[in-house]
């Protein structure tokens, strides 16, 4: 049996929205897109969960011929319908009009059969796609979870083979809803973690090659760029820096292709071969993304510990000093260094779960290599309490405490 919901999730900037947009356009061309809603956090009209069901219904009436009659009748008999709970709206505006349309279609086909008229089912018997992108960008987490439950409850009652594509970051409340909500457990759901996509590097390389070719074709200075610019080595370096996430590659391309600058000079800035010019910001999209995620941290004390954790991961990733001899990327050891109880690390990283993860082996990892570049550049992440000297101090204190305790010299350290 086919899944009714595909949950496409992954870290911030992995390319979920780009995929959803591309898929929507493809299904639209084939006339198999029933409806779509794309959340945008910065847009007041598109970060409000109250707009989702009315928007989907307004598109469905164009997908299913004759549906508007049933929807209008519901609105006429219940004028305040759009102010009611999501569950009521879904039933009254979505499910029941589709059921009414299906019943009328069935009666029509019976009559046509009696008249020996052979026709196609214009209502469509194939699955039609409904896309809800960026659920985590809905401003109210409770509404995010409620929309998932409402969709799950509606699916068994919808008389047409609709399929829902829902994309989001793996925020803890969304993950818990998928994992434990009874309505969703009763629904056939397929999950795909885009951050684990094995083809991501190859896709990013193709994207970069295509975009650089376009820059060589249309840029004002195209005649001053070598035919093989930027070269396979530079592209390979950018692929590695992308860390399987399209947002880095797309941000780099937008910076390099600026018609007001030399593309070759801007590539050198990205590769660290020359400094940016005054007021030049090579990574505005990434900076906005990272800043927004860190703004979601509850309090300064938690933010300080998160920065200590990121500092530990930074040193460990570079095999620096005594970090070279320690496995600080393991959850249990990191919790010891930070003075946390077992399991508290999950609570600590919850606000930045789209940037960092803990796998089944207990290994703590970041999604983006570019996160360290952001933290280390005072002009980008200077507002954060990211202090590498403090990281060394905390780690050294932890090791010294363990050594003194193991030596039985607790007189020197209570």
What confidence category does residue 357 fall into, taking pLDDT thresholds of 50, 70 and 90?
confident
Residues 378 and 342 in one domain: yes
Question: According to the model, what pLDDT value does residue 108 have?
Answer: 45
**Is 413 within the bounds of a domain?**
no
Average pLDDT over the chain, rounded to whole? 87
Question: According to the model, what pLDDT value does residue 164 have?
Answer: 96
Residues 159 and 99 in one domain: yes
**Is 242 within the bounds of a domain?**
yes
Residues 165 and 238 in one domain: no
Q: Which residue would you say has higher pLDDT here, 369 or 75? A: 75
Which tens digit of pLDDT belongs to each residue from 241-271? Answer: 998 888 999 999 999 999 999 999 999 999 9
Residues whose CB is less than 8 angstroms from the CB of residue 380 and which lie 6 or more positions away in sequence, other chains included: 283, 287, 290, 373, 374
Domain that holds residue 382: 296-407
Question: According to the model, what pLDDT value does residue 182 have?
Answer: 95
Of the three residues 152, 168, 196, the one that is the final residue of a domain is: 196
**Is 287 within the bounds of a domain?**
no
Residues 92 and 154 in one domain: yes
How far apart (Å, rounded) are the C-alpha atoms in residues 231 and 271? 13
Question: According to the model, what pLDDT value does residue 109 have?
Answer: 45
Of the three residues 282, 315, 337, the one that is the final residue of a domain is: 282
Residues 168 and 209 in one domain: no
For the chain, how many structural domains are there in total? 3
User: Per-residue pLDDT averaged across 158-186, rounded?
Assistant: 94
**Is 412 within the bounds of a domain?**
no
Residues 346 and 246 in one domain: no
User: Per-residue pLDDT averaged across 294-321, rounded?
Assistant: 89
pLDDT at residue 413 is higher than 50: no
Question: According to the model, what pLDDT value does residue 410 have?
Answer: 54
- 301 φ, ψ to 5°? -60, -45
Residues 230 and 337 in one domain: no
Residues 64 and 78 in one domain: yes
Q: Which of 174-183, 327-336, 398-407 has the lowest mean pLDDT?
A: 398-407
Residues 364 and 401 in one domain: yes
Residues 301 and 173 in one domain: no
C-alpha R_g of the chain: 26
Which tens digit of pLDDT belongs to each residue from 37-90? Answer: 999 988 888 899 999 999 999 999 998 989 999 999 999 999 899 899 999 999
Residues 123 and 252 in one domain: no
**Is 319 within the bounds of a domain?**
yes
Q: What is the CATH number of the domain that holds 113?
A: 3.40.50
Of the three residues 196, 211, 233, the one that is the final residue of a domain is: 196
Cβ contact 86:53 at 8 Å: yes
- 334 φ, ψ to 5°? -60, -40
pLDDT at residue 124 is higher than 80: no
**Is 114 within the bounds of a domain?**
yes
Residues 28 and 163 in one domain: yes
**Is 267 within the bounds of a domain?**
yes
Cβ contact 322:401 at 8 Å: no
How far apart (Å, rounded) are the C-alpha atoms in residues 370 and 100? 53
pLDDT at residue 139 is higher than 80: yes
Q: Which residue would you say has higher pLDDT here, 112 or 178? A: 178
**Is 393 within the bounds of a domain?**
yes
């Amino acid at each position: 049996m086919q899944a009714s919901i595909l949950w496409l999730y992954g870290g911030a900037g992995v390319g979920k929205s780009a995929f959803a947009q591309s898929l929507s356009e493809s299904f639209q061309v084939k006339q198999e897109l029933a409806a779509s809603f794309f959340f945008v956090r910065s847009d007041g009209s598109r970060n409000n969960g109250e707009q989702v069901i009315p928007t989907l219904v307004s598109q469905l009436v164009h997908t299913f011929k004759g549906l508007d009659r049933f929807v209008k009748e519901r609105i006429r008999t219940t004028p305040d319908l759009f102010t009611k709970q999501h569950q009521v709206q879904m039933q009254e505006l979505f499910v029941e009009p589709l059921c009414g349309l299906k019943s009328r279609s069935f009666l029509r086909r019976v009559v046509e059969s009696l008249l020996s008229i052979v026709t196609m089912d214009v209502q469509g018997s194939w699955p039609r796609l409904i896309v809800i992108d960026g659920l985590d960008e809905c401003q109210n987490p409770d509404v995010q979870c409620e929309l998932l439950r409402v969709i799950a409850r509606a699916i068994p009652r919808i008389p047409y083979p609709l399929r829902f594509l829902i994309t989001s970051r793996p925020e803890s409340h969304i993950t818990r809803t998928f994992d434990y909500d009874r309505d969703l457990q009763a629904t056939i759901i397929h999950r795909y973690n885009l951050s684990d996509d094995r083809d991501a590097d190859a896709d990013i390389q193709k994207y970069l090659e295509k975009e650089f070719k376009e820059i060589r074709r249309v840029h004002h200075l195209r005649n001053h760029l070598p035919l093989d610019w930027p070269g396979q080595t530079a592209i390979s370096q950018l692929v590695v820096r992308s860390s399987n996430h399209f947002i880095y590659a797309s941000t780099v391309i937008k910076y390099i292709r600026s018609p007001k600058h030399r593309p070759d000079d801007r590539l050198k800035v990205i590769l660290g071969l020359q400094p940016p010019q005054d007021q030049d910001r090579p990574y505005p999209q990434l900076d906005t993304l990272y800043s927004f995620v860190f703004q979601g941290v509850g309090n300064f004390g938690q933010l300080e510990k998160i920065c200590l954790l990121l500092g530990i991961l930074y040193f460990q990733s570079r095999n620096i000093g005594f970090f070279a001899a320690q496995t600080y990327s393991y959850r249990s050891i990191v919790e010891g260094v930070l003075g946390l109880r077992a399991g508290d690390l999950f609570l600590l990283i919850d606000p930045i779960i789209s940037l960092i993860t803990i796998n089944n082996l207990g290994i703590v990892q970041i999604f983006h290599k570019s996160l360290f570049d952001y933290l280390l550049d005072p002009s980008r992440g200077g507002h954060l309490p990211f202090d590498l000297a403090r990281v060394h101090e905390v780690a050294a204190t932890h090791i010294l405490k363990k050594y003194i305790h193991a030596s039985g010299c607790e007189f020197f350290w209570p």
